[in-house]
Amino acid sequence: MFNYDNYRVILSCGATDMRKNINGLAEIVYSNFNLDPRDKVIFAFCNNARDRIKLLVWEDNGFWIHFKRIEKGHVVWPSQSDTEITMDLLIDDLKNIIMAPGIRQKIKRSEVFKKC
């Protein structure tokens, strides 16, 4: 359980509606990416604010959803283009995104007004 070292990682470029759960995310994988969501793949999704990440993973006999809500800052996430809707990553790249080295701090509105 939770040993994903031999899994392929596919990141969904752009924003995804985080109200989607297993069925909704699996439908995106099947319809938009033309892939089987039950393959040995970690599918990574991020919201528009870049402060929520969901991972959809098929393991043995069912799906896992891993969810992370970032309390301060946001992750660096690629935008969707006309030619690229997904990006292949190494598992270590995904770990780096999730573990926050790319997090940039959001400036609070009150902090901006204090500086003026």
- Phi-psi sector, 73: left (phi>0), alpha (psi -120 to 50), beta: left
- pLDDT given at position 100: 63
Exposed (0-12), middle (13-18) or buried (19+): which is 96, by Cβ within 10 Å?
Answer: middle
pLDDT digits (tens, 9 = 90+) for 53-105: 999 999 989 999 999 998 888 888 888 887 789 999 999 888 888 886 555 55
pLDDT digits (tens, 9 = 90+) for 5-48: 889 999 999 999 999 999 999 999 999 999 999 999 999 999 99
Structure tokens at 115: 């500086």
Q: What pTM does this model have?
A: 0.83
Distance (Å, rounded) from C-alpha 6 to C-alpha 27? 24
